[in-house]
Structure 1
């Protein structure tokens, strides 16, 4: 019984993903085609990057509801800078710095002002979206022809550039989580913040750091979304915070902190991607997709609860 519980807890995310893939292949012959797989990669590269930042926030026991709004802000700032005649490198740098600034503000509110992560990030969610609307005057901003679209539509061989960037980010986060003191301290803070503080570690600085990382990831995702459509939009990223949280939870992350995996968070994103993709191939409206996402999230959390309970009883 103990071995079965351990196996289920460790590999449940991969099992759910495998079952989802098999179901998709059985339902639609158009699913497992190169064109469709490439489209999934391009469409969800941004969410994968955002989920990495969200994971580190969740590992500390926090939450970041501002990610979708910062994505929109990054998108709008990138497009605005390009229209103003700046180079792509400069435009990206300004967008990334704005994402970092948003993360610093949220992190300071959480760590130093002792504000609840839910409230602090919700305030930033409202402010960042508002700034995006002010900069764009509420309208999409088309980028100059050829200035950034090549990034969103380009590929190295058959692999889209966006996918390569997303994979590089995931590898960086996987390494940071497993092989750096920062990653270990972040996990320790989520497991027992008091013990970490008594050990003389500057907990406030690390907690601020994860929100900065999240803001940076969101700004990068905003740049990539802008490159896909060649438009900076103040409404892009709506609901992305819920998808990022769902991906982390499906991937086994605990919302109380201290538990989660970068690789499993990516699998969580892919599970959500499969649901959306197969529904689109079957011409199913978006609302049933939300219902199924909710069911999967509930099932994942229940599975975590049951396996954790069995582990404690053992």
Structure 2
């Protein structure tokens, strides 16, 4: 029997210490294996897929999705869900297109700040009103979509001068898509901040067991509101990348990205129950989802079937990543 003095001592020789299980190791490798498998399959289906132009188009298309999903990953790690990200991105695109003539270079930072505030407001409603995040963000989805329709007049808002956001859709050294670089920088910044600050343990503890986290003195409410705030900011930034690409804002511009974003999160191995996962995995998940869409078009499958594929991916990915030790009763 161990004594209090034994706590914290290294394990004796021959004693097996706790570590990642085989299933956990496989789960962490599955996104990368899936990505490599897709690249090989698409290369066989179309030898031109490995050309510079094709690869550039893929990572360029994945960038807004990766930014959108990276922010929402923090909410999922905290044990919540943000269903409003796509609608908020669409609203942000409309606001950006409307504000650019007057604010010029300040338009896109203002839009990102407004989107962050909208996310924080949802987080506050979830925390202080004790409303499930699913319900709060489902309501937010409807509210943001309606506001976007009203302020845009239910029409696309063209951008006359995109010089202040041209950085969102250009080529660095005529090779690297700037949008892809933005996505990598966003993911890297979030990952580094989480890893080298107390946020890492705070977010994971909140996701694993909110009650235990509160007993440990972790400011759970602030952590959750912060996660929603970052999710909103990323939705705003994703809108900037979309507007830079399409030269316009639209009330439904990003609506089709909700299912792919959720799929990217769970395909990346982030547990929908919270506490396990990372934004780097979500980046890989975004590439997998984008490659799947490319693969469908290569083999001649209609885009109308994409939602069916995303739905199946989400169900399978959740089944593989669900921590059933935390969910004793499935409702």
- TM-score of the superposition, structure 1-length normalised? 0.91
Partners of 1:200 and 1:4 lie apart in 2 by 32
Q: CA distance change for structure 1 residues 168 and 111 in 2, over 3 Å: closer, same or farther?
A: same
Aligned to 1:295: 312
State the shift of 1:149 in Å.
6.2
- Is the counterpart of residue 186 in structure 1 residue 180 in structure 2? no
- Judge conservation of contact 2:266–2:321 (CA < 8 Å) in 1: no
Distance in 2 between the 1:153 and 1:255 partners? 32
Find the partner of 2:110 among 78, 94, 99.
94
Does 157-166 or 282-291 show the bigger shift?
Answer: 282-291
Work out which of the two has the higher radius of gyration on C-alpha atoms and give 1 or 2.
2
8 A contact 2:267–2:317 mirrored in 1: yes
CA distance in structure 1 between the aligned counterparts of 2:98 and 2:89, rounded to whole angstroms: 14
Structure 1 residues 275-284 or 119-128, which shifts more?
275-284
Instruction: Map residues 166-185 of structure 1 onto 2, 5 A cutoff.
Output: 166-185=183-202
Question: TM-score when scaled to structure 2?
Answer: 0.87
| In 2: Cα distance, 1:145 partner to 1:10 partner | 44
Q: Is the aligned partner of 1:140 residue 2:156? A: yes
Unaligned stretches of 5+ residues in structure 2: 1-19, 326-331
1:218 equivalent in alignment to 2:230: no
SS at match of 1:234: coil
Cα RMSD after superposing both structures: 1.9
Matches within 5 A, 1:1-314: 4-83=22-101, 85-88=102-105, 90-148=106-164, 150-157=166-173, 158-305=175-322
Q: Deviations over 1:132-184 (max 9, x none)?
A: 11111111111114435633431111101111111100101211232211232
CA separation in 2, counterparts of 1:217 and 1:193?
Answer: 25
**Is the Cα–Cα contact under 8 Å of residues 138 and 234 in structure 1 kept in the other structure?**
yes
Residue equivalent to 1:312: none
Maintained 8 Å contact 2:78/2:206: yes
| Pairwise CA distance, 1:36 | 1.4
Cα distance in structure 1, aligned partners of 2:162 and 2:308: 39
Alignment partners' CA distance in 2, 1:10 and 1:41: 22
**Alpha-carbon distance between aligned partners in 2 of 1:303 and 1:93, rounded to the nearest angstrom:** 38
Report the count of equivalent residues.
Answer: 305
Distance across 2 between alignment mates of 1:249 and 1:215: 19
The answer (yes or no) to whether the contact 2:87–2:141 under 8 Å persists in 1 is yes
Q: Indicate conservation of the 8 Å contact 2:104/2:164, yes or no.
A: no
CA distance 1:191–1:163, shift in 2 (3 Å)? same
Do the aligned partners of residues 7 and 200 (structure 1) sit closer, same or farther apart at CA in structure 2, a change above 3 Å counting? closer
Compute the displacement of 1:278 (Å): 1.9
For the residue of structure 2 that corresponds to 1:252, the secondary structure is coil
Q: Is the 8 A contact 1:247 1:268 kept in 2?
A: yes
User: Equivalent residue of 1:175, what SS?
Assistant: helix
